[in-house]
């Protein structure tokens, strides 16, 4: 599919002029809200930047609703756990939007230990004409007041303010890797390596543990939870993925503690592919329900798999993201790249899936036509408003002109986080500290 690169090369740090990326600016999560009007990014420095799509104007039909910065705030600060002598990183691991119920926007953001509910609201009017205080806010001497007046609301410059409304803390011993809002819009769950907790959005001092896979003897630990998500429509159903490559579907109606799964999805390992690193590359880094709720998508290091909820024995479809890396697993282990956690996303109609790779490449797979494309998010290789050119990685043999050989891939440029607009063909791609937004070609 052809794309016009709207190439909003929005750098998250607004105060610097340098070109190099400081670690705090590395984007760690990207998420559209449920209408696609807002796009939130979280970074390693604990900040959240929210972009808003501008209204389409008839005057400039070719500028079809570009995204501009709407609000920036510091969500999490670095903390220190004195009991364990551990520093808690402020990096935002996940952001999830709540559905909009009034004029304000709500999102959940989490670091390794604490989930926060933020309210983002606009203020464009200001009351003027108080009796007891003057315009600067200073209290007037009551003796000087001779008349009474009614304060009125006057328009002011638009101000967007973000306030923390709830803080959900002290519920996780291990690092939180996922949060997911339930379709009942009353509860959400937070997941760490060994436990999943269920919260009510209104109550911060209590949470319920619904999954606990911690063995009594930690020596017997063999797998950890890597991601979890609620079903998009059934508020009693959720799935969680493990480091062993399996997915469990649980029904909260069955029991209070969902240690026993209702469904277990696992594909038997291919014995011809065994190596030292088989366990690492089979660990699932992301799991996403389709919008319809009928399918599941999982991402492990080399593949993306689509599962039918009704078939547990094997995935419906398997897509190779970058199989040319299979022979390089040892070097990828040495430079820690093998531990990278790639995410995957569905498009609005569940017909196309997208995930990231190295060298600022990202891949899209069309489930119906079985075609796939590799695209690159980089300033150097594409001009604004130019159509993105498909890229190809050459796997040994003769390298053609536009191809890149596996050995010249830049493994420090990785695309771990991407997002797809819920209805339209607009995608947001996070490449280290840069955010790229691409749209469909305008005819």
Partner 1 sequence: MEFKVEAHRIMSISLGKIYNSRVQRGGIKLHKNLLVSLVLRSARQVYLSDFYSGACLNAQSEREGKEWDLIDSEREKFPPATEECNQTEETRQNDQPPINETVEKADDEEVKPDAEHCTPTPEEQSQNSSSDLADRVSSESSVPDAIKQNQESPTDSTNATLGESRQPQKTHVCTTRKRGAEESERDDAPQKRTKVNVTSSNASDDEESEEMDTGNVSNLITIFGSSFSGLLSKDGAKPEAEAQDSDSGSGQICCDQMLKNLNPWSTAIVAF
Task: With contacts defined by CB under 8 A, name the span among 152-160, 254-262, 266-274, 392-400 that binds partner 1.
Answer: 266-274
d(CA 417, CA 92): 12
d(CA 19, CA 379): 12
d(CA 31, CA 419): 6
Report in angstroms how near the CB of residue 25 gets to partner 1 at its nearest.
16
Position 330 contacts partner 1 (CB under 8 A): yes
* Number of other residues whose CB lies within 10 A of the CB of residue 1: 14
The pair of structure tokens assigned to 151 is 């304060």
Position 243 contacts partner 1 (CB under 8 A): yes
Position 86 contacts partner 1 (CB under 8 A): yes
CA 400 to chain centre: 35
Residues 116-155: x/- map of binding to partner 1 (CB under 8 A)?
A: ----------------------------------------
Residues 286-315: x/- map of binding to partner 1 (CB under 8 A)?
A: ------------------------------
d(CA 46, CA 419): 19
Position 220 contacts partner 1 (CB under 8 A): yes
Query: Which of 3, 25, 43, 193 contacts partner 1 by CB under 8 A?
Result: 193
Q: What DSSP element (H or E) covers 96?
A: strand 94-97
CB neighbours of 310 closer than 8 A, spacing ≥ 6?
Answer: none
Position 266 contacts partner 1 (CB under 8 A): no
Position 179 contacts partner 1 (CB under 8 A): no
d(CA 358, CA 410): 7
State the residue for tokens 């009928």.
294
Position 272 contacts partner 1 (CB under 8 A): yes
The pair of structure tokens assigned to 383 is 């001009």
Query: Which of 4, 122, 267, 279 contacts partner 1 by CB under 8 A?
Result: 279
Position 212 contacts partner 1 (CB under 8 A): no
Position 91 contacts partner 1 (CB under 8 A): yes
Longest dimension (CA), the chain: 92
Closer to partner 1 by CB, 41 or 177: give it: 177
Query: Which of 10, 104, 224, 316 contacts partner 1 by CB under 8 A?
Result: 224
d(CA 360, CA 286): 19
Residues that bind partner 1 (CB under 8 A): 81, 83-84, 86-89, 91, 112, 173-175, 177, 193-194, 215, 217-224, 226, 243, 271-272, 274-277, 279-280, 283, 327, 330, 333-334, 336, 339
């Amino acid at each position: 599919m052809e794309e016009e690169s709207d190439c909003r090369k929005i750098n998250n740090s607004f105060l610097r002029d340098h070109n190099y990326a400081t670690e705090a600016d590395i984007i760690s999560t990207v998420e559209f809200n449920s209408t696609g009007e807002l796009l939130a990014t979280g970074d390693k420095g604990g900040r959240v930047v929210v972009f808003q799509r501008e209204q389409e104007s008839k005057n400039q039909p070719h500028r079809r609703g570009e995204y501009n910065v709407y609000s920036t705030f510091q969500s999490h600060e670095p903390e220190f756990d004195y009991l364990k002598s551990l520093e808690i990183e402020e990096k935002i691991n996940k952001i999830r939007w709540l559905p909009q119920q009034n004029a304000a926007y709500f999102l959940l953001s989490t670091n390794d230990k604490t989930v926060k509910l933020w309210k983002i609201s606009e203020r464009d009017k200001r009351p003027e004409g108080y009796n007891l205080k003057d315009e600067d806010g200073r209290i007037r001497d009551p003796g000087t007041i001779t008349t009474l007046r009614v304060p009125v609301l006057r328009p002011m410059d638009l101000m967007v303010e973000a306030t923390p409304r709830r803080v959900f803390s002290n519920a996780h011993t291990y690092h939180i890797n996922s949060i997911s809002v339930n379709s009942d819009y009353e509860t959400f769950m937070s997941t760490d390596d060994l436990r999943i907790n269920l919260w009510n959005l209104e109550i911060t001092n209590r949470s319920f543990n619904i999954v606990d896979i911690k063995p009594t003897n930690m020596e017997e630990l063999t797998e950890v939870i890597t991601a979890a998500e609620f079903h998009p429509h059934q508020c009693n159903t959720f799935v969680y993925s493990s480091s062993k490559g399996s997915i469990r579907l649980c029904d909260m109606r069955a029991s209070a503690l969902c240690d026993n799964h209702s469904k277990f999805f696992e594909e038997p390992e291919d014995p011809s592919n065994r190596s030292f690193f088989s366990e690492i590359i089979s660990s699932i880094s992301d799991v996403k329900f389709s919008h319809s709720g009928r399918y599941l998508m999982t991402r492990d290091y080399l593949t993306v798999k689509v599962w039918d909820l009704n078939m547990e024995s094997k995935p419906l479809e398997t897509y190779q993201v970058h199989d040319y890396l299979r022979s390089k697993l040892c070097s990828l282990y040495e430079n820690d790249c093998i531990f990278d956690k790639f995410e995957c996303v569905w498009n609005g109609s569940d017909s196309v899936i997208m995930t990231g790779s190295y060298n600022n490449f990202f891949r899209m797979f069309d489930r119906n036509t079985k075609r796939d494309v590799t695209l690159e998010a980089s300033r150097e290789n594409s001009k604004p408003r130019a159509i993105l050119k498909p890229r190809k990685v050459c796997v040994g043999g003769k390298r053609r002109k536009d191809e890149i050989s596996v050995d010249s891939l830049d493994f420090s440029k990785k695309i771990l986080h991407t997002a797809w607009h819920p209805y339209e063909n607009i995608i947001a791609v996070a490449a280290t500290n840069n955010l790229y937004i691409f749209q469909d070609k305008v005819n």
